[in-house]
């Protein structure tokens, strides 16, 4: 599910006792904020779409689809999209947006995916993997449902940001959690993410059987320059997210086209 670092507002204050990452509790407010936000609408989603390239006719799983903006963008470009998310409230919003064009399923990425081997040409995972302490089981499942030659296109919080969000700085070489609050309409919601060094990310992909095709640190959409002049300059000069394209080797066995 897409999320925003820096918008909606967040702080490094200790999280409240409320359940962390409870998207059901702020789905509507989050979806409205992220719809045309600089970081989501003019940076994260365009970057994912650009890395996906020509998707016409491709079967794509949107893993962590949220309220469906990336699914909608891929569908509008001719992809056959399936969306999954752990938040039932987010899926309700996605259904309003997508109608019956996209199959939607309530699925936690920590669990086995309810799809056949080789069911998809691509999987997109926009800003979701950093919710997971252990990428191994999730990446193994994603690889299973991808056909030989299929791609996983994923984005996460950039380690440069994740390891500098608090003082004193944590051990860069350790996989550690960090918490902070997102604020909507004066109400705070605790969030918890997991940070890991770059080599741990690439090792996780290769251990799951992927080969690395691209690492990207994209610029925001130039159209945002006039819409968000102050924020655009900040985002264009300070990295926020890290994007990967990893592939299943074409000779991989055990999956159907």
Q: How is the chain split into domains, by residue range?
A: 10-247
What single-letter DSSP state applies at residue 118? T
Question: pLDDT tens-digit profile of 96-149?
Answer: 999 999 999 999 999 999 999 999 999 999 999 999 999 999 999 999 999 999
pLDDT at 18: 79
What is the rounded distance in angstroms from the CA atom of residue 229 to the CA atom of residue 24? 32
- Whether the CB-CB separation of 218 and 50 falls below 8 Å is answered with yes
pLDDT at 146: 98
Intervals of the chain under pLDDT 50: 5-16, 254-257
pLDDT at 167: 84
Phi and psi for 54 in degrees, rounded to 5?
-75, 115
pLDDT at 252: 52
CA distances from residue 225 to 38, 39, 166, 171, 221 in whole angstroms, order as listed: 10, 12, 29, 36, 8
Closest listed residue to residue 8, CA positions, set 196, 25, 26: 26
Partners of 215 in beta bridges: 244
What single-letter DSSP state applies at residue 7? S
Phi and psi for 247 in degrees, rounded to 5?
-125, 150
Question: pLDDT tens-digit profile of 78-100?
Answer: 999 999 999 999 999 999 999 99
What is the rounded distance in angstroms from the CA atom of residue 244 to the CA atom of residue 155? 6
Question: Which CATH homologous superfamily contains domain 10-247?
Answer: Vaccinia Virus protein VP39 (3.40.50.150)
pLDDT at 165: 85
pTM for this entry: 0.91
pLDDT at 3: 55
- Whether the CB-CB separation of 239 and 161 falls below 8 Å is answered with yes
What is the rounded distance in angstroms from the CA atom of residue 168 to the CA atom of residue 164? 9
């Amino acid at each position: 599910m897409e999320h925003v670092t820096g918008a909606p507002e967040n702080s490094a204050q200790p999280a409240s006792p409320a359940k962390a990452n409870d998207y059901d509790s702020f789905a509507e407010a989050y979806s409205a904020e992220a719809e045309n936000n600089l970081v989501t609408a003019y940076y994260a989603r365009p970057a994912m779409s650009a890395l996906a390239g020509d998707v016409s006719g491709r079967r794509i799983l949107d893993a962590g689809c949220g309220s469906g903006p990336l699914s909608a963008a891929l569908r509008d470009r001719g992809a056959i999209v399936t969306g999954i998310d752990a938040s039932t409230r987010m899926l309700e919003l996605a259904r309003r947006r997508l109608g019956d064009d996209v199959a939607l399923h309530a699925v936690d990425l920590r669990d086995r995916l309810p799809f056949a081997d080789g069911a998809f040409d691509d999987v997109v995972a926009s800003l979701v993997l950093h919710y997971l302490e252990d990428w191994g089981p999730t990446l193994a499942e994603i690889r299973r449902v991808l056909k030989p030659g299929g791609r996983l296109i994923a984005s996460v919080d950039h380690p440069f940001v994740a390891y500098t969000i608090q003082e004193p700085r944590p051990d860069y070489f350790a996989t550690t959690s960090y918490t902070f609050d997102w604020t909507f309409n004066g109400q705070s919601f605790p969030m918890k993410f997991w940070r890991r060094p770059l080599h741990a990310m690439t090792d996780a992909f290769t251990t799951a059987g992927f080969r690395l095709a691209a690492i990207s640190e994209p610029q925001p959409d130039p159209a945002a320059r006039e819409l968000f002049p102050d924020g655009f300059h900040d985002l264009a000069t300070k990295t926020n997210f890290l994007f990967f394209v990893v592939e299943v080797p074409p000779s991989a066995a055990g999956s159907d086209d």
